[in-house]
Structure 1
């Protein structure tokens, strides 16, 4: 059990104040609603959406204010909701590799069956056509009228084949045009300030579709023209698709776990920065007095380098 006199909420609040962050600043960076941040600082965990979000939000809060999220959760585990609740177990199972593997096998079998259905249908059609031709040929030897019917059927089949070929060529041209448009598009970095980066997308396609995929649980939000188009926590492997207005001139993405997140716009991969930021722990001295005796401990300053987790990215379309 933790020997700290402070609660986990007080520890986080002190770290936030030391960083010079307000609750509004923290809400903007983490995309965690302000009322949940207040509930965490006050220790009112029952006000959060569920037991799973208590630990997830605390970890994200801690990392944003420069603390080690995992270490803080272990240190104050006695103050947090149990990880054995059914709601927490269900959430964790969503990210369980064996669960995902089993689901993937089911999906693969379903996809395989779906791929085979058109093939089977095509074989049946071909067999039916061959039988029809054979019957028509047999009857042609008995009547010239039947022979003409066979000729008409052949013309009809040829016409259908020609239409199918034309349709396939049209679809191929559209796919080629879309591929060329995506290949012409490119990103160039305009500026980087702290965790905020601005890019320009040259030759942006008319249809601007943002696709976001994470390899680990991550909080994500998408905003365009001052309107929030999506915000929430994505689970590993899930793809979130957001369609922008055709007249959109920019889009802003807040990524809570940027190193594990991949983003494409109009099929073009956004080059998310993997830059690192330095976090320094200052020298501190703590003293406690309980039975009349005084003890002091001091720790020397140390410097560590950690990968930037939270990034704010703005893409301007040209």
Structure 2
């Protein structure tokens, strides 16, 4: 199944058709044509449409649709076999889990049998410990009473010295705290930068933006309103996420720590709003009549 999209795309290019040309000929929406070429069949409405769209695409570019439908059917058969094997493994796991549960129950029952003896031993130990503690406490009190009178004078002098040291330490601590607080405020002011997203270039439905005030792009949040929309997010040519979101849904894509450039493909930009690094990205102001568009955002220091 991995060659279907590549073969169809190559045939389209050989025929000299663009995606827009193919959309006009077949009446299949451009976002579904893109999904077929990228082999993202999950983005299509259902299994019937997958087969119907692939057949119509193949016939339009002059290829035999049966070879693709046969390959697609073989992939579905393999998927069914995998599901059956998974069910067998799950059944074995449940059996092992039941056996482990029974072993734990037997261990707990053995513990209950020994519990009365353990309680008796514990009570004896507590009683003996209490007798020893009372005796030791009485001995300590007698010794401490004899030392109190001798220590009272020394304690008074030591208390005065300690009080003086505490006042000095407190004064130094307050001074240091004020200095550290001032330094932190100054450092915080220096670190704060204004984050901006500005248009750098535009060609048709492709837009390139510069993100200033941040050296990395950490998150992309997509919000859908009004109708469903297909979207895809890539970093340096590697796709991080793609899918179709329904009206009212939101999805956050966390990017690699090294991401300094991200490309976002929107199949229905009129129903989609974006946030980059938590900042609202108003891309619709740059030609709000487009439905399908590609956005590339580059982080600049």
TM-score under structure 1 length normalisation: 0.40
Structure richer in strand, relative to its length: 1
Larger radius of gyration: 2
